[in-house]
């Protein structure tokens, strides 16, 4: 009897131990992959930022200089200009345009007129075309469209008499950011539009019917029904596209390579230039750390503001 009870106790202990350890075994591989691909490179980048090391001194390890890279970065005269380009032109302007234009397109596709004419599927397909276009192809296509001599836009504007000669959009400082913003917004707008369209279609139609019965106008319904119920979707989309755009490298580099001169340099292109063109790997790593800290700080402030506003509304 004692042997049987001891055996049962052991079996229960083994079964309990298996139930306890099983979740960790299932989650373990995923955590290991995340650590290998995200955590370890980030820690290595932080470690590099404290060294004066070039691309050819990785084996030797370079010279430890502490926070000198960060002091040099913050003391650079051009750092203010690069930061302004990143925060204002690349991020704030394009995010604002995409949110406004994306909401307008989502409302249009979700409208009764589009549904009545059975154009919803066609409209969604047309909106998705820029999104499925590779970034390199998008930049090349718009560089051709905006070419001062052979571009379709310049030819049309000259034929209708708006321009006497083509404008070198990506060469002169007065128009270069307009060209970059056009490419970025055209390519990235579909994500915002489709996401907001999904949010609009999740709103119960009964709310609009009740508002119509109560005599509310479309503007009032949009203000008091659509916008409040879209706020969670807008909050997530704003955070995502802000982080993606702030760290974006492709559009500026492919369109202008930071030119003319260094007029359109942003943090990502400046990091690449310093690390892989000037071979100042430690200095470039410090810029990467600063960019990461900036986005972490923005995310914390943003979430705190959004959640506080949501709690106040409740």
Is the Cβ–Cβ distance between 154 and 166 less than 8 Å? yes
* Poorest-pLDDT segment among 25-34, 224-233, 280-289, 294-303: 25-34
pLDDT value, residue 217: 86
pLDDT at 28 over 90: no
Is the Cβ–Cβ distance between 53 and 281 less than 8 Å? yes
Confidence class for position 95, pLDDT limits 50, 70, 90: very high
Over residues 203-224, the mean pLDDT reads: 87
Fold type of domain 82-219: MetI-like fold (1.10.3720)
pTM of the model as a whole: 0.87
Read off the DSSP letter of residue 267. H
**DSSP strands (E only) in the chain:** 51-52, 63-64
**Distance from C-alpha of 288 to C-alpha of 181, rounded to nearest angstrom:** 23
Question: What are the φ and ψ backbone dihedral angles of 271, each rounded to 5 degrees?
Answer: -60, -45
**Distance from C-alpha of 226 to C-alpha of 218, rounded to nearest angstrom:** 10
pLDDT in tens, 242-255: 999 999 999 999 99
Is the Cβ–Cβ distance between 201 and 110 less than 8 Å? yes
The helix/strand/coil state of 229 is helix
Over residues 73-77, the mean pLDDT reads: 88
| Residue, of 2 and 285, whose pLDDT is higher | 285
Q: Identify which of 205, 213, 293, 203 has the alpha carbon closest to the alpha carbon of residue 246.
A: 293
Q: What is the mean pLDDT of the chain?
A: 88
Can you say how many angstroms the Cα of residue 87 is from the centroid of all Cα atoms in its chain?
13
pLDDT at 9 over 70: no
pLDDT value, residue 8: 64
**Distance from C-alpha of 96 to C-alpha of 245, rounded to nearest angstrom:** 12
Confidence class for position 269, pLDDT limits 50, 70, 90: very high
């Amino acid at each position: 009897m004692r042997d049987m009870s001891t055996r049962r106790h052991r079996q229960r202990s083994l079964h309990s131990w298996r139930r306890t350890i099983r979740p960790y075994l299932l989650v373990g591989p995923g955590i290991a992959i995340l650590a290998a691909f995200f955590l370890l490179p980030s820690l290595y980048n932080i470690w590099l930022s404290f060294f004066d090391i070039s691309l050819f001194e990785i084996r030797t390890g370079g010279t430890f200089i502490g926070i000198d890279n960060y002091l040099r970065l913050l003391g650079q005269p051009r750092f203010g200009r690069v930061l302004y380009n990143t925060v204002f032109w690349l991020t704030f302007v394009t995010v604002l345009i995409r949110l406004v234009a994306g909401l307008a397109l989502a409302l249009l596709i979700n409208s009764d007129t589009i549904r009545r004419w059975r154009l919803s599927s066609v409209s969604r397909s047309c909106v998705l075309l820029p999104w499925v276009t590779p970034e390199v192809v998008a930049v090349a296509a718009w560089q051709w469209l905006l070419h001062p001599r052979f571009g379709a836009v310049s030819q049309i504007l000259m034929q209708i008499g708006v321009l006497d000669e083509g404008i070198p959009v990506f060469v002169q400082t007065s128009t270069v950011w307009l060209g970059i913003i056009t490419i970025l917004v055209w390519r990235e707008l579909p994500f915002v539009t489709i996401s907001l369209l999904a949010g609009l279609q999740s709103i119960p139609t009964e709310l609009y019917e009740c508002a119509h019965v109560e005599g509310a106008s479309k503007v009032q319904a949009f203000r008091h029904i659509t916008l409040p119920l879209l706020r969670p979707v807008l909050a997530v989309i704003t955070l995502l596209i802000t982080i993606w755009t702030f760290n974006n490298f492709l559009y500026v580099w492919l369109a202008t390579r930071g030119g003319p001169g260094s007029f359109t340099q942003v943090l990502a292109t400046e990091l690449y230039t310093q690390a892989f063109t000037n071979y100042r790997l430690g200095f470039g790593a410090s810029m990467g750390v600063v960019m990461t800290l900036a986005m972490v700080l923005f995310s914390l402030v943003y979430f705190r503001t959004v959640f506080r506003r949501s709690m106040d509304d409740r």
